[in-house]
């Protein structure tokens, strides 16, 4: 049996060999055999564009067996047409870069061919990565971090990076001030007089459905628009030569090896990296009279020392750069990083985004807006990772001393006196109208009153109707004197399910507002402190103790809303005294989650102050901090627009500890 099997194998070998020869000879020696038997130029192999009808000229780049050719033959053919290593990608000008450098947001090719829409548009990014408008994948922290990480800058051109809303009430605002229908925004046709509706700045945030074609700058046009002979993208990216597989003039058609003559020997490519030289088609080991090398490393690695070296007549300007494992040092708003000079304790230098192993960093809290209760230890880079990452705590409840010169009988607020106070604005009018207040508790979360986002007919109103502003003294949404103001749309509104407005006597009158754009902590923008310790709460809420609250409410019983923020100090009132001093018809509104404060003598809160926070001070190690204890909820009515001779009820924060903590 064994003998017959061997004879059988020998008998069929010539036939197999004959078939293989016949197939390999169907295309010329300078052509690649596609999986369906058709032939394309070897120069088309692994160039980022599909030339074979079945796409096998590009699948070959991944080492997949194509058209009956084993992997080794595919790579052999590729090496014949390219001077790049297997782990490198060839730019259109012939330069070799790391395969990881393609569509990573950073331009590595001298001709920029590694970061094009045609090459990158179908790249699939991991869920936690950010997709640039033209298709590259970058770190998920890239958007709005003040560092350009996409080649087209789309990570920094998003509307949320500018705290703006380009579309409002069905209109798109052009940069020249004119308006067009929102449906014409990013549709491929410039409609704004200045063309600003069809740019990366206008369209960076667009996500096109799978049945539409996305232009390089983000616009969505009809499926099949690509390479149909008609320009339908404003930038012409649907008809680009590269996308439509037309021969580009930068494509090398003939590769000429440079002559060897000199003592400068081209070194091997560095581990975990590559280089570009002034001899683009040379191979390691060749000698020249002069050489120039620019070394780049794969993500996660960095060049130790200088990345550029020169050689003249055999003498190098420096040792050949190496790629070593680096630690990524991400910007953190709470911390400043100082890298220690090697071998010293006192010497400091500016840290780079990537630092080599052995780097020691001295972190410092970004005061006065952040602090740490303990001394921050040194950070050390060990084998590509920091031994720990320092983070500081936001300063909460701190007023800004000596601020610039906020509520019936209240006084004007000093700038930064209550840096956590926000204005809640309704977007159904133009300009937006201030309706309530609130308190910032994190850079993306505000606590306010539920009734500000509710009516008894429609129930909870949609988040899209509201916007939030902080750092303001003046009530109007746009006031040029509010130089420190920050603004954001509302992303989500969370209200307890038991809140039913007046039908339930405003029980659970509290709302957690999630912002679309995170606020940046600054001198006049800080959160208020939260503390849910019951004993601390009782210690602060003692009869007669004064708490601060701010607002733009009515300035008299029948007056107009204040145009300047007002602040008032109100004493806490025991609940029994509050019930005794309230009109009979109002007692039912003093529900189990309410506390009371006020004088009942003409100094009170009024319409427009709802949602503002009542905060009480506490001294800690010589520092006064304010803690949020209540949210302005209800007050008794009389024949006037506002009753200045009544106490105000506040929703007690500690009664809603679990609800609040769910969204922090």
Q: Over 90: is that where the pLDDT of 26 sits?
A: no
pLDDT reported for residue 260 = 61
Q: Which residue has the higher pLDDT, 499 or 229?
A: 499
Residue 544: per-residue pLDDT: 93
Tokens representing 56 are: 């096998």
Whether 534-654 and 26-82 are alike in CATH topology: the answer is no
CB burial class (10 A; 0-12, 13-18, 19+) of residue 153? middle
Q: How confident is the model at residue 368 (pLDDT cuts 50, 70, 90)?
A: confident
Joined tokens for residue 627: 């803690």
Q: Which two tokens stand for residue 123?
A: 């790249």
What's residue 645's pLDDT? 66
Higher pLDDT, 417 or 4: 417
With a cut of 60, say whether residue 411 has pLDDT above it: no
Predicted local distance difference test score (pLDDT) of residue 413: 58
Average pLDDT in the 319-344 region?
85
Give Rg (Cα) of the chain: 34
State which H helix or E strand residue 661 sits in: helix 657-661
Fold adopted by 534-654: Thrombin, subunit H (2.40.10)
Given this model, what pLDDT does residue 607 score?
56
User: What DSSP line would sit under 308-321, residue for residue?
Assistant: EEEEETTEESSPPP
Q: How far apart are CA 431 and CA 433, in angstroms?
A: 6
For the domain bounded by 26-82, which CATH number is listed? 4.10.400.10
With a cut of 80, say whether residue 17 has pLDDT above it: no
- Look at 238 and 32; give whichever has higher pLDDT: 238
Element (H, E) at 6: helix 2-24
Report the distance separating Cα 433 and Cα 611, nearest Å: 15
b/e map 196-215, b = 16+ CB within 10 Å:
bbbbbbbbbbeebeeeebbb
What is the pLDDT, as a whole number, of residue 637? 65
Query: What is the per-residue pLDDT for 28?
Result: 54
Model pTM score: 0.56
Confidence of residue 556 (pLDDT cuts 50, 70, 90): very low
C-alpha–C-alpha distance, residues 104 and 149, integer Å: 9
pLDDT (average), residues 499-516: 94
Q: Strand pairing partners for 290?
A: 312
Q: How confident is the model at residue 602 (pLDDT cuts 50, 70, 90)?
A: low
Q: How many angstroms separate the CA atoms of 624 and 366, rounded? A: 19
Task: Give the mean pLDDT of 176-187.
Answer: 88
Over residues 360-377, the mean pLDDT reads 91
Percentage of the chain modeled with pLDDT above 70: 79
pLDDT surpassing 50 at residue 440: yes
Mean pLDDT of the chain: 80
Number of C-alpha atoms within 13 angstroms, CB side, residue 491?
A: 12
State mean pLDDT over 359-383: 90
Q: Among the CATH numbers 2.30.30, 2.60.40, 2.40.128, 2.10.70, which is that of 329-394?
A: 2.10.70
Residue with the larger pLDDT of the pair 394 and 484: 394
**Position 601 pLDDT exceeds 70:** no
The answer to whether the beta carbons of residues 46 and 60 sit under 8 Å apart is: yes
pLDDT at 639 over 60: no
State residue 4's pLDDT score.
38
Q: Per residue in 159-175, pLDDT tens?
A: 888 777 777 778 888 88
Sheet of 167-168: strand order equals 167-168, 171-173, 179-181
The pLDDT value recorded for residue 160 is: 83
Q: Give the pLDDT confidence score for residue 511 in this predicted structure.
A: 97
The pLDDT of residue 14 is 35
The residue among 546 and 276 whose pLDDT is bigger is 546
Q: What is the pLDDT of residues 29-80, one digit of tens each?
A: 556 677 777 777 655 666 556 777 777 766 645 433 333 343 434 443 333 4
419-515 carries CATH number 3.40.50.620: no
As a whole number of angstroms, the distance between CA 547 and CA 626 comes to 9
Residue spans per domain, the chain: 26-82, 116-250, 329-394, 419-515, 534-654
Confidence of residue 292 (pLDDT cuts 50, 70, 90): confident
Over range 629-648, report the average pLDDT.
72
Q: What's the sign of the alpha-carbon dihedral 498, 503, 508, 514?
A: positive
Cα 540 to chain centroid distance, Å, stands at 39
618: its two tokens: 């506490």
Asked if residue 89 has pLDDT above 60, the reply is yes
What local confidence, expressed as pLDDT, does residue 6 receive?
35
Which helix H or strand E contains 77, and what residues bound it? helix 71-81
Q: What is the reported pLDDT for 562?
A: 74
């Amino acid at each position: 049996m064994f003998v017959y099997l061997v004879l059988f194998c020998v008998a069929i070998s010539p036939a197999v060999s004959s078939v293989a020869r016949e197939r390999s000879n169907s295309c010329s020696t300078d052509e690649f055999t596609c999986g369906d038997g058709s032939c394309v130029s070897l120069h088309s192999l692994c160039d980022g564009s599909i030339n074979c009808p079945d796409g096998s000229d590009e699948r070959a780049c991944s080492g997949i067996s194509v058209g009956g050719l084993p992997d080794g033959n595919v790579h052999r053919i590729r090496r014949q047409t390219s001077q790049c290593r297997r782990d490198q990608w060839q730019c259109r000008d012939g330069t070799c870069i790391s395969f990881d450098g393609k569509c990573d947001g950073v331009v590595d090719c001298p001709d920029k061919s590694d970061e094009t829409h045609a090459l990158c548009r179908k790249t699939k990014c991991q869920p936690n990565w950010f997709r640039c408008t033209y298709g590259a994948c970058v770190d998920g922290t890239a958007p709005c971090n003040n560092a350009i990480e996409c080649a087209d800058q789309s990570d920094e051109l998003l509307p949320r990076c500018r705290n703006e809303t380009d579309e409002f009430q069905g209109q798109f605002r052009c940069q020249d001030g004119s308006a067009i229908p929102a449906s014409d925004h990013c549709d491929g046709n410039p409609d704004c007089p200045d063309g600003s509706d069809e740019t990366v700045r206008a369209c960076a945030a667009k996500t096109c459905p799978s049945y539409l074609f996305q232009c390089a700058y983000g616009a969505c046009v009809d499926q099949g628009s690509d390479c149909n002979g008609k320009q339908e993208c404003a930038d012409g990216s649907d008809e680009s030569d590269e996308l439509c597989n037309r021969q580009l003039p930068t494509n090398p058609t003939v590769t000429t090896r440079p002559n060897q003559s000199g003592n400068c020997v081209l070194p091997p490519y560095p581990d975990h990296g590559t280089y570009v030289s002034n001899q683009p088609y040379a191979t390691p080991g060749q000698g020249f009279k002069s050489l120039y090398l620019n070394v780049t490393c794969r993500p996660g690695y960095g060049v130790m020392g200088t990345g550029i070296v020169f050689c003249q007549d055999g003498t190098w300007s420096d040792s050949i750069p190496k790629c070593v494992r680096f630690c990524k040092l991400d910007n953190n708003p709470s911390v400043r990083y100082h890298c220690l000079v090697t071998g010293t304790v006192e010497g400091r230098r500016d840290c780079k985004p990537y630092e080599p192993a052995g780097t020691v960093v001295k972190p410092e809290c970004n005061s006065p807006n952040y602090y740490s209760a303990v001394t921050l230890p040194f950070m050390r880079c060990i084998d590509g990772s920091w031994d720990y990452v320092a983070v500081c705590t936001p300063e909460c409840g701190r007023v800004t001393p000596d601020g610039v010169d906020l509520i019936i009988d209240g006084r004007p607020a000093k700038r930064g006196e209550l840096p956590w106070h926000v204005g809640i604005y309704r977007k159904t009018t133009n300009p937006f109208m201030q309706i309530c207040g609130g308190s910032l508790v994190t850079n993306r979360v505000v606590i306010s009153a539920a009734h500000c986002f509710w009516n008894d007919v429609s129930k909870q109103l949609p988040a899209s109707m509201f916007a939030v502003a902080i750092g303001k003294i003046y009530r109007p949404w746009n006031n040029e004197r509010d130089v420190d103001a920050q603004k954001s749309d509302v992303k989500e509104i969370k209200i307890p399910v038991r809140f039913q407005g007046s039908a339930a006597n405003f029980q659970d009158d509290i709302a957690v507002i999630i912002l679309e754009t995170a606020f940046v902590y600054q001198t006049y923008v800080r959160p208020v402190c939260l503390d849910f310790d019951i004993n601390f709460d009782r210690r602060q809420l003692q009869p007669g103790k004064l708490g601060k609250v701010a607002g733009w409410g009515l300035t008299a019983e029948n007056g107009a809303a204040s145009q300047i923020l007002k602040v008032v100090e109100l004493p806490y009132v025991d609940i029994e005294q509050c019930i005794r001093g309230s009109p009979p018809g109002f007692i039912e509104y003093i529900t189990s989650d309410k506390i009371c404060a006020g004088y009942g003598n003409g100094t009170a809160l009024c319409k427009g102050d709802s949602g503002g926070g009542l905060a009480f001070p506490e001294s800690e190690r010589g520092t006064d901090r304010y803690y949020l204890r209540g949210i302005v909820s209800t007050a008794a009515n009389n024949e006037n627009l506002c009753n200045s001779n009544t106490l105000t009820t506040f929703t007690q924060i500690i009664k809603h500890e679990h609800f609040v903590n769910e969204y922090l």
